[in-house]
Structure 1
Amino acid sequence: MVRLVGVDLPRNKKIAYALTYIHGIGLTSAKQIIELAEIDSDTRVYDLTTEQTVALRQTLESTDLKLEGDLRRFNGLNIKRLSEINCHRGKRHRASLPVRGQRTRTNARSRRGAKKTVTGKKK
């Protein structure tokens, strides 16, 4: 089992796809990291040698990417700042509504949660 930046990488996946399990690393940056560490992209996680694992760790430390906890904290503080200055985006975050201008009359179910049926008024 390979553990990088506090994340256990899945054993049976290719190393490029396994690195995307780390918060802050997408497929493009994963491929760049593998190139810098000089590891073959077809290598599976269970085939990694200890030298390759050490090279991956050093490459991740030397990059200027924010990963895992640092990135989560950074994003959380940005959202908290928006909420504290009482701007429109902050209010939308607080109300659990879409932040980037999407419509809410229909759709927006993933952000607003399951439907809450309101009974119709009787005349």
Structure 2
Amino acid sequence: MFALRASARRSADAGRRLLRDAQGVRGIRIGNTEVPDDKKLKYTLQRIKGIGRSTARQILCELQIGNKPTGELSGIELESLRNEVLNYNIGHNLDKENTSCIKRLVDIQCYRGIRHLDGLPCRGQRTRTNARIRKDRGTPFAAFKMTSHR
């Protein structure tokens, strides 16, 4: 094999990049999320944070769009889909709402707020043997290392 000069190598890389970019965008942007255009709409919508199976089905029923691949949407359908998705609490807005709800619980010092503050489970789970991830007290099973019996 032969080695290319640095300038020839850079131009070859640039040519490959241009070819890749000329193939077009492989995804569509809906609700500040890049969604694939080769999957069906029902599964594509579930890629957006805050939209699950039932919400995706509800959106498709309201818009009366069939469950076709995202790449086959017309411009009007795509625009109506984007406008419909904006009606739901998704992405960054969902995160802000969750943090404000937790902050409210902590501020009023209710039981759930105190559990959030202490980093413990707040929905009635047991903590004596489980809740290792929520408590985050080092690595699990560190105290139960096997020792050799001789």
1:44 aligns with 2:65: no
Identity %: 36
Q: Gaps spanning 5+ residues in structure 2: where?
A: 1-26, 145-150
Q: Gaps spanning 5+ residues in structure 1: where?
A: none
CA distance in structure 1 between the partners assigned to 2:127 and 2:90 by the alignment: 33
Question: What is the TM-score with the length of structure 2 in the denominator?
Answer: 0.67
1:56 aligns with 2:112: no
CA distance in structure 2 between the partners assigned to 1:107 and 1:82 by the alignment: 24
What does residue 11 of structure 1 align with? 37
What does residue 117 of structure 1 align with? 142
CA distance in structure 2 between the partners assigned to 1:10 and 1:110 by the alignment: 33
Q: CA deviation at 1:49?
A: 2.6
CA distance in structure 2 between the partners assigned to 1:47 and 1:58 by the alignment: 18
Question: What is the TM-score with the length of structure 1 in the denominator?
Answer: 0.80
RMSD: 2.0
Q: CA deviation at 1:118?
A: 4.9
- The one-character-per-residue Cα deviations of 1:83-120 (angstroms, maximum 9, x if unpaired) are 1222211121122211101001112234234427359x
Q: Which has the higher contact order (CA 8 A, sep 6+)?
A: 1
CA distance in structure 2 between the partners assigned to 1:24 and 1:2 by the alignment: 18
Is the contact made by 1:2 and 1:53 (CA closer than 8 Å) also made in structure 2?
Answer: no
Aligned length in residues: 116
Larger Rg: 2
